[in-house]
Structure 1
Amino acid sequence: MTETKKPLIAVIATGGTIASKRGADGASTPSLKGASLLKLVPAVAIELRVVELMAKDSSSLTLADMQAVSDAVAEQLADDAISGVVILHGTDSMEETSLLVQVQNRLTKPVVFTGAQRTADHPEADGPANLAASLEAACNTDNAARGVLVCFGGRTLPVWGLYKFSADATEAFRQSRQSKMTERVTLKGRVGGLRVDVVAISPGCDGVQIDASVAAGANGIVLAALGSGNATAEVVQAVARCHARRIPVIVSSRVPDGRLVAAYGGGGGGHDLGLAGAIHSTTLRPGQARILLAELIASQADRETIAAAFSHD
């Protein structure tokens, strides 16, 4: 009788709350290796390959770190022995890193991100259950067609349009109800050397932060704008200055969900921002918009290509 070969799943450890414990000072820091975390999961009928990539809080990840994660995923996907990939990652920037992996890799195998809201030494730690569910999702070959996934709190969501909506709930993530990725285009730009800033817009604000980002060498700017993508007349003027210097400006929103429409005028509305040269992000919120813009800049995309990418629903 021929024994069925067990699937081999690569588990890439990057740190985050799932790998963290509280120290004597009360602060939580990533201290557990991926191999230690796997010991917390009930026995599964699969083979595991642990890749100890880094041990960082995801709030400190740079674009270069995110590129390293994407490269590590690509390396495992290229190995014929691997059936799927699971990435252990902090929740603060999981939506960003997972989107970079999405746009840089053409998937033929499942790729799943997971993490935790509670530290590994918490009496009700959620990491082991999330990890077990992610391993199961990575073994399902049908999941490759769904793109990169985040498996968290009993839900498995595609990363396009994903956002973290709660700082403490175990069901930490949601996906924009308007977000549907109907076409996948793989980009190969290297984002490590870029600077793309997110500028928060508040009622009555001026363009000082935008000008400061440009002066500091930003390659692109994402506005966390108001409502459906609105700002002020002073911000519109600053956007026009960016456009004159061929620095792309993407308009997203601090509102977590809903489709953005550049409809309002009055000197500082979304319609005026568009006339000044800004591009509206239809569904992606600031964190993911920053990643997509960085990848497009790294790929030397022209303005028309950038606009098409952000209007893609």
Structure 2
Amino acid sequence: MTHVHLISTGGTIVSRNTGDGARATTSVDTLLADIDVEIETTADELVNVNSFRLTLRQLAELARAVDRACQDASVAGVVITHGTDTMEESAFLLDLVHRHPQPVILTGAQKGADRADTDGPQNLTDALVAAAHPRLRETGVSICFAGTVQSARGVRKAHTLDPSPFDGGTALATVVGDRVIRHGQVRRRSPLPLPHEGFGQIRVDVVDASVGSRPDQIPDAIRRGAHGVVILGTGAGNAPDGFVDAVQRATDQGVPVVLATRATHGPVVPIYGDGGGVDLVRAGAKPAGMLSPAQARVLLMLLISQGLTGPELHSAFTSSTF
């Protein structure tokens, strides 16, 4: 029988209404009791929290737990139950460091465990089926919701309540019952080293570049201890007056700056001068490509924690982005 290892971190899939809002309270054993698949499943509970409460240290522990599980040759794949709020960050971090052929699939729920119409058991069933299937080997890390398996890179939560809340990434497969219909490919990049203890100490701030936003957010973030900055730009990657000078001063200080976009679809591409993306990149900002601001931040934190600076960091960021 195929063996899949489950790592539980909490989220809506194990949440119940306590009378003071929903909280992650259900154990992984209770979760598995509702699942009926012919797959040998072992399980660990890493933490049991809603994902907006996860820490960087816990994400590093999750990455190491996945790596340990994949070192067992009997494990065909790994499934992680996780809250949807920050799933895109965790999935991307895991994908950046994943060095094994086994698929790693994150899933969860949009409706709590105490709801009669909860989507958790079906999502978990689909994820277990997908993780066990040989067609998904060498696909890295992905997210499975409502029967669709999407690659971690470039995915983002696009709807607060919809049963299929994620957009972006590459659609890899559809799960129908015990069948996995493969219809997408991903290019696996060379894995980065696993996050170490220093990852939890890195601070990267996201600064807003909407109309009227002030460029002094960048030096303020650095003064408060930020090791790097992500600009939440507009359009294909633009910002108001003054941001170019702020980026130049930050990069002159050795503080890396990444230019992302608030737009849901499309890459960051320097198109406009007059203080726009062309000038921001010329001043030293690194385009985030197809990554969401949250995923660009995760990548920057991982690279900084590994001691990369200057051209080395720029090269590693670029090769991991595009």
Q: TM over 0.5, yes or no?
A: yes
How far did residue 123 of structure 1 move? Answer: 2.1
Question: Partner amino acid for 1:182?
Answer: R
Which string of whole-angstrom CA distances, capped at 9 and with x for unpartnered residues, describes residues 151-179 of structure 1? Answer: 112210111111110000001111157xx
- Distance in 2 between the 1:216 and 1:162 partners? 30
- Distance in 1 between the 2:86 and 2:151 partners? 15
Percent identity between the aligned chains? 36
Aligned to 2:22: 28
Q: Any gaps of 5 or more consecutive residues in structure 1?
A: 1-5
How far did residue 32 of structure 1 move? Answer: 0.7
Aligned to 1:40: 34
How far did residue 211 of structure 1 move? Answer: 1.8
Aligned to 1:245: 253
- Distance in 2 between the 1:205 and 1:24 partners? 39
Q: What secondary structure, in the 3-state scheme, does the structure 2 residue paired with 1:83 have?
A: strand
Q: What secondary structure, in the 3-state scheme, does the structure 2 residue paired with 1:133 have?
A: helix
Question: Partner amino acid for 1:35?
Answer: D
1:186 aligns with 2:181: no
Aligned to 1:303: 310
Aligned to 2:173: none
Aligned to 1:235: 243
Q: What is the RMSD computed on CA atoms of the aligned residues?
A: 1.9
How far did residue 86 of structure 1 move? Answer: 0.3
- Structure 1 segments (4+ residues) deviating >4 Å: none
Q: What secondary structure, in the 3-state scheme, does the structure 2 residue paired with 1:277 have?
A: coil
Aligned to 2:301: 294
The 5-angstrom pairing of residues 152-191 of structure 1 reads 152-176=145-169, 182-188=187-193, 189-190=195-196, 191=199
Contact 1:160 1:181 in 2 (8 A): no
- Distance in 1 between the 2:143 and 2:200 partners? 23
- Distance in 2 between the 1:90 and 1:310 partners? 29
Contact 1:262 1:270 in 2 (8 A): yes
Q: TM-score, normalised by structure 1?
A: 0.92
The 5-angstrom pairing of residues 139-288 of structure 1 reads 139-176=132-169, 182-188=187-193, 189-190=195-196, 191-267=199-275, 269-288=276-295
Q: What secondary structure, in the 3-state scheme, does the structure 2 residue paired with 1:192 have?
A: helix
- Distance in 1 between the 2:260 and 2:254 partners? 19
- Distance in 2 between the 1:82 and 1:154 partners? 22
- Distance in 2 between the 1:233 and 1:303 partners? 25
Which string of whole-angstrom CA distances, capped at 9 and with x for unpartnered residues, describes residues 96-122 of structure 1? Answer: 001111111212212110011111111
Contact 2:11 2:48 in 1 (8 A): yes
Question: Partner amino acid for 1:29?
Answer: R
Aligned to 2:114: 121
- Distance in 1 between the 2:169 and 2:267 partners? 9
Cα 1:218/1:55, change in 2 over 3 Å: same
Contact 2:151 2:186 in 1 (8 A): no
| Greater alpha carbon shift after TM alignment, 136-145 vs 14-23 | 136-145
Which string of whole-angstrom CA distances, capped at 9 and with x for unpartnered residues, describes residues 288-311 of structure 1? Answer: 101111111122334334434336
Q: Any gaps of 5 or more consecutive residues in structure 2?
A: 171-184
How far did residue 131 of structure 1 move? Answer: 0.1
Cα 1:271/1:181, change in 2 over 3 Å: farther
Which string of whole-angstrom CA distances, capped at 9 and with x for unpartnered residues, describes residues 245-304 of structure 1? Answer: 11100000000111221111112x011111211111111010110111111112233433
Aligned to 2:3: 8
- Distance in 2 between the 1:213 and 1:306 partners? 20
Cα 1:132/1:176, change in 2 over 3 Å: closer
Contact 2:11 2:51 in 1 (8 A): yes
Which string of whole-angstrom CA distances, capped at 9 and with x for unpartnered residues, describes residues 55-77 of structure 1? Answer: 11111212111111111111111
- Distance in 1 between the 2:303 and 2:121 partners? 36
Q: What secondary structure, in the 3-state scheme, does the structure 2 residue paired with 1:157 have?
A: strand
Question: Partner amino acid for 2:100?
Answer: L
Cα 1:198/1:181, change in 2 over 3 Å: farther
Q: What secondary structure, in the 3-state scheme, does the structure 2 residue paired with 1:221 have?
A: strand
Equivalenced residues, count: 305
Question: Partner amino acid for 2:220?
Answer: A
Aligned to 2:176: none
Aligned to 1:3: none
Q: TM-score, normalised by structure 2?
A: 0.90
